[in-house]
Structure 1
Amino acid sequence: MELRQVFDDLVRFETDLWNAIDARLRRDGEVPLGSLNVMLVVERTPDCRVNDIAAALSITIGGASQAVDRLEKRELCARQPNPNDRRSSIVRLTAEGARLTRSAARLFDAELAARLAAPLSEPELAAFASALTALRAAGPGTAGTGNTP
Structure 2
Amino acid sequence: MEYTSAGAAVNLPNLFADLVRCETRLYNALNESLRERHGIVTSQFEALRFLRDHPGARVADLANEFAAGVGAMSKGVDRLEKSGWVERQANPADRRSSLLVLTGEGVRLVEAAERTFTRQLTEMLGNGIPDSSLSVVAQVFSQLRGTLERDRVGLPAG
Give the TM-score of the pair, scaled to structure 1. Answer: 0.88
Q: How many residues align?
A: 143
Query: Does the 8 Å contact 1:30/1:104 carry over to 2?
Result: no
Q: How far off its partner does 1:140 sit?
A: 7.8
Per the alignment, residue 114 of structure 1 pairs with 123
Per the alignment, residue 137 of structure 1 pairs with 146
Per the alignment, residue 103 of structure 2 pairs with 94
Q: What percentage of aligned pairs have identical amino acids?
A: 35
After superposition, the CA RMSD in angstroms is 1.8
Runs of at least 5 residues in structure 1 that lack an aligned partner in the other structure: 143-148
Amino acid at match of 1:59: A
Runs of at least 5 residues in structure 2 that lack an aligned partner in the other structure: 1-9, 152-156
Matches within 5 A, 1:1-149: 1-139=10-148
Amino acid at match of 1:31: I
Deviations 1:91-148 (A, max 9, x none): 0111111111111111011111011134323331111111112222332897xxxxxx
Q: How far off its partner does 1:83 sit?
A: 1.3
Pair 1:65–1:129, CA change in 2 (3 A): same
Rounded Cα–Cα distance in structure 1 between residues aligned with 2:48 and 2:149: 27
Give the TM-score of the pair, scaled to structure 2. Answer: 0.83
